[in-house]
Amino acid sequence: MRVKLFIALGMLGMSLFTYAGSRHAAETSYPSYKGLVMAGYQGWFRGPQDGTNQGYGHYGTGKQFDEKHCTIDAWPDVSEYEKTYETSFRHADGRKARVFS
């Protein structure tokens, strides 16, 4: 009885593996990364009121983010974010600069 159950479960398990490779299309739009740029957001940045109690994590040093403690090289585009955090920086037109978390 145990042998039959073991064989049945084994066959069921193997049959599930046949569907594992069918998640992706048969052909890819991008067969190589050559000439492409990959970018992504990994959730490293923090804002002062985002609930993490880490201040401006990864924007500045020591939870601070001002001219003396800035650690970013480029300002993030936050135009599509619903929630952003005001900073002490200003844009060229005088608006307060904001960041995401």
Tens digit of each residue's pLDDT, the chain (101 residues): 788 877 877 777 777 666 555 566 778 888 888 988 888 766 678 888 888 888 888 888 888 889 999 999 889 899 999 999 999 999 999 999 999 98
In a domain? residue 9: no
Whether residue 75 is contained in a domain is answered as: yes
Per the domain annotation, does 56 fall within a domain? yes
In a domain, 100, yes or no: yes
Q: Is residue 101 part of a domain?
A: yes
Q: What is the pLDDT of residue 43?
A: 66
Is 99 domain-assigned?
yes
Please give the pLDDT value at position 49: 84
Query: Does residue 31 lie within any of the structural domains?
Result: no
Q: What is the pLDDT of residue 96?
A: 95
Report how far residue 19's alpha carbon sits from residue 26's, in angstroms, rounded to the nearest whole number: 13
What local confidence, expressed as pLDDT, does residue 32 receive?
A: 86
Would you call 59 exposed, middle or buried from its count of C-beta atoms within 10 A (0-12, 13-18, 19+)? buried
**What integer pLDDT is reported at residue 94 of this predicted model?**
96
